[in-house]
Structure 1
Amino acid sequence: MLLPTSAIIDQAVSSGTGVGAFNVITLEHAEAVIAGAETARQPVLLQISQNCVRFHGGRLLPIARATAALAAEAVVPVALHLDHVEDDILLRQAADAGCGSVMYDASRLEYAENVRATRKAADWAHSAGLWIEAELGEVGGKEGAHAPGARTDPGEARAFVEATGVDALAVAVGSSHAMTTRTATLDHSLIARLRDVVPVPLVLHGSSGVPDTELREAIRHGMVKINIGTALNVAFTGALREKGLTTTDPRKYLAPARDAMADTVAQLLGVLSSC
C-alpha cells in the first residue's frame, strides 16, 4: 500500500525502530525492495534520487509513477521519496510523481544560503502536502555533511531546523556515501546529543557502509530514517558476476540480481526493526 512518508516515519518514532529507505535505479530495484519488505513484513521507503532521474534522461515521471504503482500493490506500507534534489524544477515535480516526501539538498551552499534555499523549498513542500528532509552541510566546507570526518554540531543543527522548518535532518556522525565495505564506526554519543536537541527525526545517509551492530546502536540512540543504496548495487552486480551468463536474454541476468537485492533488503530491514 502506498502511504505518505510521514505516516511511516511517525510510526517508527513511536515504536523506537528504524525505517529503511532504499535507492531505486531501475524497476528491478523497486521490485526487489518491495519483495524484501514483504518478506521482512516491514514498512519501507523507496527513494528516487536526482542522479537516478539524470540516468533516466532527466525524466522523473516514468520511473516514479511505475514505482508508485508497484508500491500501491504491496502488502506492506510503502512510501515514495525524491532524494538529494538540488534542482528546483525537479523538486516541484515531486507531488505529481506520487512522492510523499523530498530531500532538498542545499548542503553545498554556505550556511546562510542553505537556510534561505531550504526554507523556500520547505514552504513549497508543505504547501503541496509533502514531508521534507534537508542536510546542514559540513561546517566550514562545501563537501557536504557526509564528507569523511565531517560531524554535525548539535546547536547548529537545532538552529537550522528552526530556521528552515524542515521535517527531518540528515546528520554527519561517521558514515560516508558509496561505501562498499561495512567498516564505518558511528559517533553514538553525538547521535544521542543530536536527538536530545533537534526537534525532528534524524536521518543517516551512507548506511551501506555501517555494520549491523552499529546500525542497531544508532537507532537506539535516535536515528530514524536509514538510507541505503550502495548495498543494493553490490548485491546486484555480485549476482551478475556470479552467474557469468552468456545468454542474450536479459531476464536471465536481471532475475538473480533482483533476488539478491531482495535478500539484502529483507536482511537489513530485520536489523532495523530489531532495536
Structure 2
Amino acid sequence: MPLVSTAELVAEAQASRTAVAAFNVITLEHAEAIAEGAERAGRPAVLQVSENAVKFHAGRLTAIAAAATAVARTSGARLALHLDHVTDPDLLRAAHAEGFSSVMFDASKLSYADNVKATADAVRWGHARDIWIEAELGQVGGKEGEAPLDAHAPGVRTDPREAAAYAADTGVDALAVAVGSSHAMTERTAALDHALISTLRDAVPVPLVLHGSSGVPDTEIRQAVAAGMRKINVGTALNTAFTGATRAFLEAHPAAVDPRKYLVPAREAMAGTVAHFLGLL
C-alpha cells in the first residue's frame, strides 16, 4: 500500500478522539513486525526512525528509510514514515529526499527562547516542503546519554500556558508534552497526570503526543487517549520483546549460529507487541 502521511493519520485520530501509535524502527525486522502487527490489528501506524537509530546505521539515513518505505509499500496496513527526535539540522533537511512526511524536531534541551527560534525555523523549512513538524516542551527524559530524570519532579512537566504560547510562536503541527512518562522504561509503572493532559488538550490548539509510552500501563494509556493524547510513541517495548525472544531461543539452543532462527521469534514477539498496543487505541 502507498505510504500515507503522519498528518493524515493524526488528523483522523483527532477527529475520532482516538490515537495513532508510532513505533520505533531500528532494523528491518522492526519495520516488518510493525507492519505485521498493524495488519493483525486492522489499524494504521507510524514507522518512526530516530536520530539515534540513524547513528546506529553509521549516520546514514538512506538505507533504513528505504527499508521502512519498502515494507510499508508491500503491507496491507496504512503506514506513515516519521523521523523522530532530530536535533541535527542536516538530518532534518535529509527528511524530504528520503520520503518522510513528518519530523519530530527536538530542541527541548535549549533554553525556551532558543527552543522557540530553532523550532520555528524547522517549521518554516518543513511546511515549505509539506512536512508535518512535531516538537517537545517539558522534560520527558530517559534518552540514551541523558542523566536520569524523575518524571514527577517539580518543574519537569509541561506548563499549559507556556505550551499554548509555544505552539503559537513556533507554528508546530503537534506537541510532545511531559506528563509523567519517561523514555527507555523497561517496566510499565509510569503514572500519568491525566488532569494535566486534559488541561493541555484544552489549552494547546494542536494534537498532543505521548513519548515514553513503553513504560505506561494499558489502563493509563487508555485514560491518556480519553484525556486528549493523539499520538502514542512506543520504542523500548519492541526492543524488550525482541531481546526477550532472542534470549529465550539462544538459551534453549546454545549451539545455534543462524540468526534467522532467533530473528523469526524475535520479529513475531515484536509484531504481537505492536498489535497489543494498537488494540488499546
Report the RMSD for the aligned CA atoms in angstroms.
1.4
- Aligned match of 2:276: 267
- Correspondence for 1:113: 114
| Displacement of 1:124 | 0.3
Query: 2:227 — aligned with what?
Result: 221
In structure 1, the gaps of 5 or more residues are none
Match of 2:205 in 1: 199
* Paired residue secondary structure (1:106): coil
Name the counterpart of 1:208.
214
Q: Tell me which amino acid in the other structure corresponds to 2:202.
A: D
1:10 corresponds to 2:16: no
Question: Does 2:108 align with 1:99?
Answer: no
Number of the residue aligned with 2:247: 241
Query: Which of these residues, 260, 265, 271, is aligned with residue 251 of structure 1?
Result: 260
2:161 and 2:217 mapped to 1: Cα distance? 28
Distance 2:151 2:184 in 1: 12
Runs (4+) off by over 3 Å: none
User: What is the DSSP-based 3-state SS (H/G/I as helix, E as strand, rest coil) of the residue aligned with 2:104?
Assistant: strand
Whether 1:151 aligns to 2:166 is: no
Letter in 2 for 1:217: Q
Residues 246-269 of structure 1 deviation map (CA, whole Å, 9 limit, x = unaligned) = 322110011110000000000110
Q: 1:92 aligns to what SS in structure 2?
A: helix
Which AA in structure 2 matches 1:148?
A
Q: Using the alignment, how far apart are the partners of 1:22 and 1:80 within structure 2?
A: 10
Offset of residue 138 of structure 1: 4.0
Q: Which amino acid counterpart does residue 212 of structure 2 have in structure 1?
A: G
1:138/1:180 CA distance change after superposition, 3 Å:
closer
Question: Does the 8 Å contact 1:108/1:137 carry over to 2?
Answer: no
Alignment of 1:128-147 (within 5 A): 128-138=129-139
Equivalent position of 1:60 in the other structure: 61
Once the two structures are overlaid, the 10-residue window that deviates more, 238-247 or 77-86, is 238-247
Question: For residues 77-97 of structure 1, what are the alpha-carbon distances to aligned partners after superposition, in whole Å with 9 as ceiling and x for unaligned?
Answer: 100000000000000010111
Between 176-185 and 242-251, report the one with greater CA deviation: 242-251
> What is aligned with 1:30?
31
Q: Aligned with 2:183: secondary structure?
A: coil
Q: Equivalent residue for 2:127?
A: 126
- Shift of the alpha carbon at 1:148? 2.1
Q: TM-score, normalised by structure 2?
A: 0.93
Measure, in 1, the Cα distance between the counterparts of 2:263 and 2:16.
Answer: 36
Distance 2:200 2:269 in 1: 35
Deviations 1:67-114, CA, capped at 9 Å, x for gaps: 011111221210000000000000001011111100000000000000
List per-residue Cα deviations over 1:162-209 (Å, max 9, x = no partner): 000000000000000000001111000000000001000000000000
1:77 equivalent in structure 2 = 78
Identify the residue that residue 43 of structure 2 maps to in structure 1. Answer: 42
C-alpha deviations, 1:143-173, integer Å up to 9, x for none? 79x7522210000000000000000000000
Q: Is the 8 A contact 2:138 2:157 kept in 1?
A: no
Please state whether the residue corresponding to 1:192 is helix, strand or coil.
Answer: helix
Question: Is 2:192–2:220's contact at 8 Å kept on the other side of the alignment?
Answer: yes
TM-score (norm 1): 0.95
Count of matched residue positions in the alignment of Structure 1 and Structure 2: 268
Q: Percent identity?
A: 62
* Whole-angstrom distance in 1 between the partners of 2:74 and 2:5: 15
Aligned residue for 1:9, secondary structure, equals helix
